Structure 1
Amino acid sequence: MKFLLTILLGAALAQAKPNIVVILADDLGVGDVSCYYDKGKIKTPNLDALAAAGMRFTDGHSNASVCTPTRYGVLTGRYCWRSRLKRGVLNGYSQALIEEDRATVASVLQEAGYRTACIGKWHLGMNIAKSGGKWDYDGKIERGPTTVGFDTFLGITASLDMPPYALVKDDRFIQKPDEEFEAVKKQLDYIRGGAISSEFKHIDYLPLVAEQAEEFIVKEAGKDAPFFLYLPLPSPHKPVIPNEDFQGSSGIGQYGDYVVETDWAVGRVMAALKKAGVERNTMVVFTSDNASFAVPEAYETIQKGHRVNGDFRGQKTDVLEGGHRVPFMISWPEKIGGGQVSDQVICTTDIMATCVAAAGLSLPEGSAEDSVDFMPVLEGKHQSGALREFTIHHSGSGMFALRKGGWKLIVGKGSGGRTRMPKSAARIQLYNLKDDPGETTNLQAKHPEVVQELTALLEACRASGGGRK
């Protein structure tokens, strides 16, 4: 009898832990989400509803302004510039980036009894087998998602514009790429030619990801153990390929239509949680790996008056706000009151500490060095002041910036990315974001004491093992 009660108590405690879903959009700007930018031309009802059900952060940031580094930060709670990747991104054949002995949010939750899954775009490297100097698509993949805490994985190795174009299930390709196939480059804009499986259709990939996420939720919701789903969407990153049902839905061209389809995918996830009866005790985190490109003339958005990154200066790749200021919202009806808006600075590295705390767990020693637990803010227990002492931003080319309070220091000349700035621009930039969120007036000459303070803080953090207080 005592043994039975112990089992029942253990099951009850497992069920009490929240399910956790982390949805990471790909290149989605704050101007693309209607609850963030009322002057935008795109309507995102599902994201608006998610924000209304919990807390929306108006000062949310990706830890980098390009894909791979942010994904590293999301899963490890660590700035990617501390890893071997100091600039740029990986490709579809790159070696695994996450270190073998490094804890991830998935591995911590998995060890605590969570069922864990990654569905979507990986883009963190996985060691694909080789045979005779050629890629062996029949061989076992080493150090992929299932080696860093995920029980299961279904997705692609990198972005939807990077070969190999074929599905991977756990540690095997389940579609066989043809290394000689190059026609995909002629079929789609903004895509790299390369190996592709005849079974793989780019336009079907976003619906597949949504469908698989829905199936995982419904399947796992009926079990005693809680689940963790990491859902890195492939959209609205190029190639911009909205399905027929969404074409014309935004009224501003294909890019807008693809954002609408992305919103639909989020809606399917939320509907699955409700259908499975686990909506109230599921924490859903939604954000983007970086902001959007601000040059989508080919997608008609600028001509139609839509600003993908709202009123912020810059775009993906930049250390300017328009490179890393992203939509960021967290819902958990059982714990977080709806309709809340926070101006706290939050970063994608904070996802690990927050998820681990939500599960009632502690971070392993030496892990998540740059991750801050935001549960006190979400639960209304943080009284005043900034929870984050400072935040470091990183551009595609490796340029650094540091944010503390309203001040932002950029160490370098220019944007650190694709946005061109005047040749006369200073090599040190200091902006007061409270008064000048568009980063139009460089105050470095007027406030040398602030430059000195923030420079010393940046150097100390870079030299140390981590920035979490």
Structure 2
Amino acid sequence: MGMRKVWNGAGRALVVAGIVAGPLFAADGKLPNILIIYADDFGYGDLSCYNPKSAYETPRLDRMAAEGIRFTDSHSPSTICSPSRYGLFSGQQIYRSTGRGGGAFEGPGGPSYLKPGTLTLGDMLKEKGYRTGIFGKWHVGLTWLDENGERLGGGFENSLKIDYEKSTPLVDGPNARGFDESFVTPNCPTTDPLYVYIENGMVPVPADRRHKRDTLPNPGGKWRWDNDEGWKAPGYEFVKADLMFYDKTKEFITTHRKQHPDQPFFAVFSTQIAHAPVLPAPEFEGSTEAGPRGDFVRELDTLVGRMLDLLEQLGVDDETLVLFNADNGPETLHVVWMREDHEHDASGGWRGVKRDAWEGGHRVPFIARWPGRIPGGQVTDQMINTTDIFATLASVVGYPLPDKAAVDSFDLLPVMIGKQESGKSVRPHLLTQSFRGEFQIRKGKWKYLDHKGSGGNSYDKGELAKYALPEKEPDAPGQLYDLEKDPGETTNLYFKNEAKRKEMQALLKELKESGRSAPTGRVPLGMENIPKLK
């Protein structure tokens, strides 16, 4: 673990392990701008820089990776979206909020997983002087009230019972959780009603009509799948959703630079690509030879490129840290159809898909780019989690994290800037949770699943049945795999390696009972310890 490679323009490794060579000089104390691009249902194999057999190219994200650092052992904290988003914003596994797992919200579902008193990314960065904004999908739960002031539960029909005057400004929306500006949807923008926009805690146009899916395009006769007919606001946009979220992010950054040029910004561009339904904007139809989903991913790739170009146009490229990550692996039928129609594996060769505890459900891309501070051309196999973004950003801005905050977050900054000791893993272990909240734990090459089966999807029938693998230990209540020898998770060693299994079980028990998986007393590096590249 911990291998680092630096590549030259010819694609040859110049440095393996250790600190990256190159002309450095003392850092100044100016805090960087920070931009997180958070993709949805986006698999390890969905970028061509991760998947040499990809059915399409992702040139801008590939270039972003070449100009920064690409992580090949990166994981989402959960195999579905809402718990993973809680992990992003809190630096914690979902069971810290719920005591168990966490589902994805529909209708007026809530309250927020981000409970009052939880330190969020937005809170932390505001304390350090940032202006903060989020644009796109929120989906960590919201509190909605009816005419009697009673909190509504989830469910599509409850959408019509919302009293917007009593419900807004939302008590647990983004603006109450550390963001100065926000334009978001409460749930999945094109799948899970309530279909409304929330702007700075308010709902400009309430939902008053039923959405009909046959009003939308149906590319290929099937890619409109999973578009629910719940309640929506008039003028709600499905096909051009991410173009709108991009425009809102661009407006926030551009306006901020004009009005507050000496203040750093923190922005989250939270896309709905490549979540179902697959509805590429018209300008991207036919942009690849990999069908509608290939076009959809190309749309995201292009928007990432436009965002990077914007930073350059504004003159802040070198002083902006950009992170690209995803909330979980690719959707079930998306994987099946892309394999069958285009020989493209969105899971990137790993077993499993969205909802599954196997690697394909939670091993996702993670790229970091900061031209002024992160040397380009790096590829690392450091084992990391989305929750680690929190401690990493705290380390960048010099924020000493309280032990009670971001309790599952490890600092990745030393890896990014070449200060991590060669061969030493930042994380001694890794926790993830599957669809039903069941636990998986990694330690080096070993992975233990504290449950039978996938932890998510059924492989007994339907489209996934063809990908079912024979269970070699059908009586085992859990699963133990050596990922170094068996990356496909095909041979369960639960009984054959009893000592390792008991060790992993004991570690999982310890981490759950201790109330944290990250170390205490975390000390940030701060800008004064981040070498500046010439």
> Any residues of structure 2 matched to 1:46-445 within 5 Å, and which?
46-84=60-98, 86-94=101-109, 95-132=111-148, 134-139=161-166, 140=168, 141-160=170-189, 161-178=191-208, 180-184=209-213, 187=216, 188-222=224-258, 223-296=261-334, 300-384=338-422, 385-420=424-459, 421=468, 422=470, 425=474, 426-445=476-495
Asked if structure 2 preserves the Cα contact closer than 8 Å seen for 1:28 and 1:290, the reply is yes
CA distance in 2, matches of 1:448, 1:320: 20
**Structure 2 counterpart SS, 1:238:** coil
Structure 1 118/14 Cα, relative in aligned 2: closer, same or farther at 3 Å? farther
The correspondence for 1:40, drawn from 54, 59, 62, is 54
Shift of 1:299: 5.0
**Structure 2 counterpart SS, 1:83:** helix
Asked if structure 2 preserves the Cα contact closer than 8 Å seen for 1:185 and 1:192, the reply is no
**Structure 1 counterpart SS, 2:164:** coil
**Residue identity in the other structure for 1:459:** K
CA distance in 2, matches of 1:355, 1:419: 38
**Residue identity in the other structure for 2:121:** V
**Structure 2 counterpart SS, 1:150:** coil
**Residue identity in the other structure for 2:117:** D
Structure 1 255/437 Cα, relative in aligned 2: closer, same or farther at 3 Å? same
CA distance in 1, matches of 2:338, 2:381: 32
Structure 1 195/388 Cα, relative in aligned 2: closer, same or farther at 3 Å? same
Asked if structure 1 preserves the Cα contact closer than 8 Å seen for 2:71 and 2:379, the reply is yes
CA distance in 2, matches of 1:432, 1:189: 36
Runs (5+) with no aligned partner, structure 1: 1-12
CA distance in 1, matches of 2:288, 2:306: 19
Structure 1 137/199 Cα, relative in aligned 2: closer, same or farther at 3 Å? farther
CA distance in 2, matches of 1:302, 1:325: 22
**Structure 2 counterpart SS, 1:23:** strand
CA distance in 1, matches of 2:165, 2:297: 35
Single out whichever of 40-49 and 344-353 deviates more from structure 2. 40-49
The alignment covers a number of residue pairs equal to: 456
**Residue identity in the other structure for 2:128:** A
The correspondence for 1:446, drawn from 491, 496, 509, is 496
Once the two structures are superposed, residues 76-111 of structure 1 have per-residue CA deviations (whole angstroms, 9 ceiling, x without a partner) of 001112211624222241221101001011101111
Q: Tell me the TM-score normalised to structure 1 length.
A: 0.93
CA distance in 1, matches of 2:337, 2:194: 25
Single out whichever of 135-144 and 265-274 deviates more from structure 2. 135-144
Structure 1 327/104 Cα, relative in aligned 2: closer, same or farther at 3 Å? same
Asked if structure 2 preserves the Cα contact closer than 8 Å seen for 1:214 and 1:268, the reply is no
Q: Which position in structure 2 is the counterpart of 1:6? A: none
**Structure 1 counterpart SS, 2:72:** strand
Q: Which position in structure 2 is the counterpart of 1:466? A: 516
Asked if structure 2 preserves the Cα contact closer than 8 Å seen for 1:185 and 1:191, the reply is no
Runs (5+) with no aligned partner, structure 2: 1-26, 151-160, 217-223, 460-467, 520-534
**Structure 2 counterpart SS, 1:21:** strand
Asked if structure 1 preserves the Cα contact closer than 8 Å seen for 2:338 and 2:345, the reply is no
Q: Tell me the TM-score normalised to structure 2 length.
A: 0.82
**Structure 2 counterpart SS, 1:263:** helix
Shift of 1:272: 1.2
